[in-house]
Amino acid sequence: MFADPLSQTYDVIVVGSGATGGWAAKRLSEAGIRVALLEAGREVSPKEFTEHMPTFKLKYRNMSPEIVKTRPIQKQCYACMEYNYDWFVNDLENPYSTPKDKPFTWQRLRILGGRTLVWGRQSYRMSDLDFKAYSHDGYGQDWPVSYKDIAPFYDIVEDYVGISGAAEGNAALPDGRFLPPMAMTCGEMLFRDRVKQKLGHTITIGRTAMLTRNHNGRLACHYCGPCERGCITFSYFSSPFTTVKDALKTGNCTLITNAVVAHINLEKGENRAAGVTFIDRLTHRTKEIKAKAVILCAQALESTRILLNTPAREGTMGLGNSSGLLGKGLMDHCTGAAASGDLMGFHEAPSLNGPTRANGIYVIRFRNTIDSPRHARFIRGYGYQGSAGPQFDFNAEGFGGGYKQAVVAGTYGISVGAFGECLARDDNFVSIDPELKDAWGIPALHISMTQGDNEKAMMEDAASAGAEMLEAAGAKNIRVHSALAEPGMAIHELGIARMGNDAKRSVTDQWTQLHDVPNVFAMDGACFVSSACQNPTLTMMAIAVRGCDHLIQRFKRNEI
């Protein structure tokens, strides 16, 4: 008979099983540390994957009314569809509030692996232009770590995950340890070469957590396309079939699913964590689990919600909040700037039959770098993701057979969309709504965020610069969009338990430990000091590995 997993005291509780939680469970359990991995959702099976299922096999042809009814917010995510919508949270059960004039879209999953099942997989290192941005332009704070501190952990993550990409030698985007890059299309190569020649900007193939050759027991990508519906060959990185699988294989990790964590429990009379309280998602029963340390990897907003819902001995609102900064400085990359057009001289016809490359090109940041002058209207910078290739022309003129022929003849399109850095501002914050609760009785978040003048100016410049690059490549019929997207649309929430050396100006230290509580860690995007403009998941994983390696040493010294 198996012992009740809640009857013992673990070394570490890891809350969340996604990109960072999977790494924490793997790193610690492989070092002999006993881990309880708590996931608010259920397990996932490859039998659920539908990347090869045609739309006509769906009951509602991908227009299910259930999505509109139960997931009005989640359906804003490109990846939420009839194929997989039950991976995403039910918005009716998982509410949050915002000011009426400050909408925010919180797109999230509750399933083993979380958003690693549907993420875009773009994986970029940050440089000291990012880690030491304050020293460059005087805004905000420097990170308490440098690129040199994080680089060895980038190596560890990249070697394990498998990142395909190409080295460029550009200081704004450090090169990594890459698998062979995916190929650019002919139009993308033309775009790359002409933009480099005329404007000096560097365009590379996207650096993506997708295998281009067999790696660590996983098979190379077979270019079927819709990765957000799963991958039977595990060619893209998702934690259930990599880090979590490895953690469970050690015998030192106990997985507890359907565990919706409400708050952290403190030792009686001490400012130390004793474990967590969670609600069983299915039975709604309240349960407790004990451990010597607690690591929050639930995703920045959810981890901060747990801390804010934990009564603190120091008399502040939330655990680890003696600085008053817990929940403040919310960031999400600003998006919305885009340029698109048609490239002439390419006669390749569009096809529905693939292969489909689930990747694109990346334009490396060129504004406000070490080698470029400071822009007059904004600080920090942006990069672009994009693609070029044949596409059906549904805007073609005509009727009947002539229209059909024009649609199939298609156009050779090119487009780029910007991701810009969002500045950390304390008036962008989260707090606990005094009245709203979720379906399990846990107080819900109130999210208050806007994009500021700096982000607005950045996106206006990005739209103009995008058009300039397309013109340099010889594109015609150029269309430009510069309006800011709603906060949350980048799905890169960061920075509400920022790290720093000064406990009065930060919430966590360089190892992601709360300054106020020696055995609680916020090891996901909550600890970010600034957002940079790169997709953050690779950096999150590297920071988690670094924090766990430090924690392992503390266990060896009996400091936990």
Q: What is the pLDDT of residue 354?
A: 82
Q: What is the pLDDT of residue 443?
A: 98
- Maximal C-alpha separation, the chain: 80
Residue 254 lies in a domain: yes
Residue 514 lies in a domain: yes
Helices (H) and strands (E) in the chain, counts: 11, 17
| Residue 253 phi, psi (nearest 5) | -120, 130
| Residue 215 phi, psi (nearest 5) | -155, 125
Other CB atoms within a 10 A radius of the CB of residue 69 amount to 11
Burial call 318-338: b when 16+ CB within 10 Å, e when fewer:
bbbbbbebbbbbbbbbbbbbb
CA–CA separation, 117 and 489 (whole Å): 18
Q: What is the pLDDT of residue 1?
A: 39
Strands, E, within 113-172: which ranges?
Answer: 163-164
CA–CA separation, 340 and 344 (whole Å): 13
Which residue, 365, 371, 369, is CA-closest to 383? 365
Q: Which domain holds residue 270?
A: 7-162+237-322+492-560
Which residue, 429, 421, 346, 334, is CA-closest to 389? 346
Residue 307 lies in a domain: yes
Q: What is the pLDDT of residue 302?
A: 98
State the distance between the two ends of the chain, measured CA to CA, in whole angstroms.
31
What one-character-per-residue DSSP string does 491-540 give? Answer: ---B-TT-B-S-TTS-SB-TTSBBSS-TTEEE-SGGG-S---SS-SHHHH
Q: What is the pLDDT of residue 2?
A: 54
CA–CA separation, 304 and 325 (whole Å): 11
Strands, E, within 108-244: which ranges?
Answer: 163-164, 178-179, 203-205
Compute the CA torsion angle 73, 77, 79, 84 (nearest 10 deg).
0
Task: Count how many domains the chain has.
Answer: 1
Residue 402 lies in a domain: no
Threshold 0.85, pTM exceeds: yes
Model pLDDT for residues 504-535, shown as the tens digit of each residue: 999 999 999 999 999 999 999 999 999 999 99
Residue 543 lies in a domain: yes
Residue 541 lies in a domain: yes
Whether 153 contacts 548, CB under 8 Å? no
Task: Say which CATH number the domain at 531 has.
Answer: 3.50.50.60
Which residue, 298, 256, 280, is CA-closest to 108? 298
Which residues of the chain, if any, have pLDDT below 50? Answer: 1
CA–CA separation, 206 and 389 (whole Å): 15
Residue 413 lies in a domain: no
Residue 177 corresponds to which amino acid?
A: R
Model pLDDT for residues 465-493, shown as the tens digit of each residue: 999 999 999 999 999 999 999 999 999 99
Residue 70 lies in a domain: yes
Pull the structure tokens for residue 79. Answer: 């990846």
